[in-house]
Amino acid sequence: MHHGSNWYCCRHFWPIFGLLEKFSCLQKTSLVVADTETGTMNPQFDSIGKQFVDFYYKAFDANRSELAGLYRPHSMMTFEGVQLQSAEAIMQKLVSLPFQKVQHVVTTVDCQPTTDGGVLVMVVGQLKTDDDPPHGFSQTFVLNNDGSNWFIFSDLFRLVVHSV
Amino acid sequence: MADLRASVPEYDKEDGEYKVKVICLGDSAVGKSKLVERFLMDGYQPQQLSTYALTLFRYQTEVGGKDVCVDFWDTAGQERFNNMHPSYYYQAHCCILVFDVTRKVTYKNLPNWFKELRQYRPEIPCLVCANKIDDVDYKVTQKSFNFAKKHQLPFYFVSASDGTNVVKMFREAIQSAVGYKENTTDFTDLVMRELENLDDLSLSNDVDSGVDTAGNSAETHTDEADEEQAEGATGTT
């Protein structure tokens, strides 16, 4: 695998990402916007989503087994139509994907706040595995905060491949 | 959708060119692309249909005195993420099933590939290739790989890197593809052929129908054929 990339290991990096987010929130006068119609929305949704995406694909490409810290027992994934639940099942799927090298290049990241303070993230990009030609992909996340750290509650992945 | 589909070749329409479709199947990194590239050698630019995650290699040759245009379809790696889409198998005339002798798991997965192939193309000829024999001791060729024998499929030890048996294997694949197209007894193929014949008849009744008309009506009939197949399938079950 990729030795020397352990700096990006979730165990080190992810809590820092969580802290950064908390600090940046503190600079605002109101941390969250509470409203009867909109629920409790996080005003930092855009930077949270973008920081997450940046971190996620760096970690995925360096050593995807280290993504384990981002999923929880109740996290869900739909990978090419296959539904999985729990960090364990999700990691088993990700680690068993049959390629040695992978590189994600993100084209667009779009974020929206959810009513429970989480963040909805939609990614469009390209990925390249081993010697294959690049493929388009689309991935959607729902990020939630457990009070101290962000984690992935939902993860939906599709290659953008059309039928003929 | 007709415009979107235009980039993908049709194989049952006879528009002057005699075309066959040969598909490559097998796990990632067993050397499917490398084998086709080895066979075609230099000077062939594969066509990347990235929207469909396909690579097409076109090859002009002659079989029994007849000009044949062969399209080799390769998977471009989406099989790492999911199953092949049914359209990969659609209209295929022959399949080259490849495994890597240096990775046992690629041999163990052959039954899965074969099962999926037979689900969509129950009768097309299928060849089995043990690739990368140059990577191991050539004694590997004395080992018996029972999968091919069990299913009575032609079997080749090949090497994309030094060329062993590559031409021989591809020549057989092309001949089988043409042979299949000529003599198919597969129900859906026969339906397609009937529809093509109807198409020819209706064309000959049309006075001075141009090439464009031919293209359009053939397109319409393809859709009808899909319905026909669906009816046929429910009728037989």
Please check whether the domain covering B4-185 is classified as CATH 3.40.50.300.
yes
Average pLDDT, whole number, for chain A?
83
Average pLDDT, whole number, for chain B?
81
What is the model's pTM? 0.74
Residue ranges per structural domain of chain B: 4-185, 201-237
Measured between CB atoms, does B112 come within 8 Å of chain A?
no
Q: Above 60 in pLDDT, residue B24? A: yes
pLDDT computed for residue A34 by the predictor: 52
pLDDT computed for residue A150 by the predictor: 96
Across B39-67, average pLDDT: 87
Backbone phi and psi for residue B233, each to the nearest 5 degrees, phi listed first: -65, -45
Distances (CA, A) of B126 to A24, B88, B176, B193: 61, 15, 9, 22
pLDDT computed for residue B88 by the predictor: 94
Q: Do A162 and B86 touch (CB under 8 A)?
A: no
Which of B8, B27, B53 is facing A159, going by the closest CB pair?
Answer: B53
> How far apart are the C-alpha atoms of B168 and B185, rounded to whole Å?
26
Q: Could you tell me which residues of chain A have a Cβ less than 8 Å from any Cβ in chain B?
A: 79-81, 97-99, 129-136, 159, 161-164
Residues of A in contact with B5 (CB under 8 A): 164
Measure in Å the smallest separation between the Cα of B92 and chain A Cα atoms.
Answer: 13
Residue B2 contacts by C-beta under 8 Å, 6 or more apart in sequence?
A: B219
Residue ranges per structural domain of chain A: 43-160
Which of A99, A159, A164 is facing B87, going by the closest CB pair?
Answer: A164
**pLDDT tens by residue, B97-112:** 999 999 999 999 999 9
Q: Do B50 and A135 touch (CB under 8 A)?
A: yes
Q: Are A147 and A119 in contact, with CB atoms under 8 Å apart?
A: no
Across A112-117, average pLDDT: 95
pLDDT computed for residue B6 by the predictor: 64
Percent with pLDDT over 70 in chain A: 76
CB atoms within 10 A of CB A98: 16
Residues of A in contact with B28 (CB under 8 A): 98-99, 129-130, 132
Residues of A in contact with B87 (CB under 8 A): 163-164
Minimum mean pLDDT among A89-93, B35-39, B196-200: which range?
Answer: B196-200
Q: Do B52 and A163 touch (CB under 8 A)?
A: yes
What three-state secondary structure class fits A34? Answer: strand
ipTM value greater than 0.90: no
Q: Which CATH class is domain A43-160?
A: alpha beta
Residue ranges of E strands in B155-234: 155-157
Which of A79, A81, A98 is facing B28, going by the closest CB pair?
Answer: A98
Q: Do A97 and B80 touch (CB under 8 A)?
A: yes
**pLDDT tens by residue, A10-35:** 444 444 454 444 433 333 333 455 55
